[in-house]
Amino acid sequence: LLGVTASKEGDFPKWYNQVLTRSEMLDYYDVSGCYIVRPLGYFVWQQIQEFFDAGIRSLGVRNCYFPMFVSSRVLEREKDHIEGFAPEVAWVTKAGSKDLEEPLAIRPTSETVMYPYFAKWIRSYRDLPLKINQWCSVVRWEFKNPQPFLRTREFLWQEGHCAHFTKDEAMTEVHDILALYRRVYEELLAVPVIEGVKSEKEKFAGGVATTTVEGFIPTTGRGIQGGTSHYLGQNFSKMFNVVVEDPESTEAERPKIHVHQTSWGLSTRTIGVMVMIHGDDKGLVLPPRVAETQVIIIPCGLTVKSSDEDRRRIADACLNVEARLKMAGVRAESDLRENYTPGFKYSHWEVRGVPLRLEVGPKDLDKQSVLSVRRDNADKASMSLDGLEESVKIMLINIQDTMLSKARATLDSRVKLVLKWEDFVPTLNSKCLTLIPWCEREECEDQIKDRSSRDSLGDEPEDDKAPSMGAKSLCLPFKQPENPAIVPGETKCIQCGENAKRYALFGRSY
């Protein structure tokens, strides 16, 4: 067994690689940008799927499946939708030794695949709302350096696509879905996120508005887009002619109304964010909600002098505790391997992120108790065998809550109000995000990115590495700071001096 030897603060990329591979969450693959999601990692994705699927089902969304191949005619249906993305599109051009009549794109997202069928299926307003989702993989041949889970050339996601008769109904759904994304992060992954709307520059160009949940990686001080829910308006329904007759009209030839659409996506990037935030120098730290093994039971206190009778007594006690916890719905396992020391086993399961360890020794048993050890903060506590199920369940809930509240405290401490431009770059350099009064003009955003990529204030970068990465707008948070509140017409944008409209969250990002 190899534990994690890299330090999270010392060599983050190497640490991240070691945590993922030595916890057995993921393995590398010989196609650059592609990775193998191993069972421990896949279990996390399955918990996310189960939770999110139940959530969208209760919103009336039905799952479906569309082909992964898109003809060039269909993909390039609308030039401006696709133009910026063309370099990322992967194409199939041959079958065997024969060239295909026409090359087929592998779906990078499914708007152009689905919406011709929306036009075919939606005839009357009674066919609305149409609410569908698919769980699938998509391929985007990104050229920026790949990172497991965070930026991969193929990734698993869900993409929801809905059509509504009214804008209000569509907007309500956009926010309902964003709330579900927030719950996936906070309730399952114990990751706090900031909800808001994207700037004009950062939004999905094909839509009208993009709402987002933004995460934060404290080790690098960088923000990360966690999931997006778009209000598409009538852009795509005009492009694909998705119309219904106006039910209110009394004319013979009733006017056609273009439907109001939404689309929303969440991917396996969620898993990378969770690992980066909670992992430590012993390896993976899993929130109990998504841990395949929540409790590992390990015999201890036995020595070479221990009698066979003692060994059997301890082993039986472990199996009994395991059975009781399983009966109570806790995902518990015993590690009774003969040829490994307790210490070896502790490390083995720590690198794998198991949230709670129970040590079962002769002395504990004499007292009808076991020793519990938490993975998140290493706290030890003796637990009576009497009522053990309840004690363990309460402990797991406490671990889940503590992980979220710690991560939230860190996030809160790293978001700084910046009211003067001269504080902007130094705040980024201290691994923080900034909340700034902002004019929301696209050219101002470009200037901010440029002025923050060079260390333009003359203070030399700490080391002579490449100049720091520019800051981008992450979102305009729904929760706006109230002190000091933006005074329309008075408060100025800290970069360009124009009137500020709202506070914007800016930072370096993935």
Q: Which is nearer to ligand 86U, 260 or 357 (CB)?
A: 260
Local structure of residue 78 (DSSP, 8 states): S
The interface region with ligand 86U, picked from 176-184, 263-271, 316-324, 341-349 by CB under 6 A, is 263-271
Binding to ligand 86U by CB under 6 A, coded x per residue (else -) over 124-143, reads ----------------x---
- Does 270 bind ligand 86U (CB under 6 A)? Our answer is no
Q: How far is the CB of 319 from ligand 86U (least distance, A)?
A: 47
Q: What is the C-alpha separation between 311 and 383, in angstroms, rounded?
A: 21
Within a 13 Å sphere around the CA of 276, how many CA atoms are in the beta-carbon half? 25
**Site residues (CB under 6 A) for ligand 86U, limited to 66-85:** 82, 85
Q: How far is the CB of 458 from ligand 86U (least distance, A)?
A: 38
Q: Which is nearer to ligand 86U, 212 or 400 (CB)?
A: 212
- Does 53 bind ligand 86U (CB under 6 A)? Our answer is no
Q: Which is nearer to ligand 86U, 216 or 264 (CB)?
A: 264
CA distances from 338 to 273, 286, 316, 321, 372 (A): 36, 26, 14, 18, 21
- Does 216 bind ligand 86U (CB under 6 A)? Our answer is no
The interface region with ligand 86U, picked from 143-151, 242-250, 257-265, 336-344 by CB under 6 A, is 257-265
- Does 118 bind ligand 86U (CB under 6 A)? Our answer is no
Interacting residue with ligand 86U among 196, 215, 265, 353 (CB under 6 A)? 265
- Does 47 bind ligand 86U (CB under 6 A)? Our answer is no
Quick one: 373 exposed, middle or buried, by C-beta within 10 A (0-12, 13-18, 19+)? Answer: middle
Q: Which is nearer to ligand 86U, 204 or 438 (CB)?
A: 204
Q: Are 369 and 382 in contact (CB under 8 A)?
A: yes
Q: Which is nearer to ligand 86U, 260 or 278 (CB)?
A: 260
Q: What is the C-alpha separation between 183 and 172, in angstroms, rounded?
A: 17
Vertex 187: Cα angle to 435 and 140 (nearest 5)? 70
Q: How far is the CB of 25 from ligand 86U (least distance, A)?
A: 25
Residues in contact with 94: Cβ distance below 8 Å, sequence separation at least 6, in sequence order: 100
Residue nearest to ligand 86U (CB): 265
Q: Which is nearer to ligand 86U, 230 or 260 (CB)?
A: 230
Q: Which is nearer to ligand 86U, 108 or 507 (CB)?
A: 108
- Does 267 bind ligand 86U (CB under 6 A)? Our answer is no
Distance of CA 124 to the CA centre of its chain: 37
CA distances from 321 to 21, 219, 329, 445 (A): 30, 38, 13, 58
- Does 231 bind ligand 86U (CB under 6 A)? Our answer is no
Helix (H) or strand (E) holding 400: helix 388-413
How many residues at the interface with ligand 86U, by CB under 6 A?
14
Q: How far is the CB of 443 from ligand 86U (least distance, A)?
A: 23
Q: What is the C-alpha separation between 234 and 208, in angstroms, rounded?
A: 9
Interacting residue with ligand 86U among 109, 133, 270, 294 (CB under 6 A)? 109
R_g of the chain, CA atoms, integer Å: 26
Q: What is the C-alpha separation between 301 and 178, in angstroms, rounded?
A: 50
Distance of CA 282 to the CA centre of its chain: 23
* Residues making contact with ligand 86U (CB under 6 A): 82, 85, 88-89, 108-109, 140, 159, 204, 228, 230, 263-265
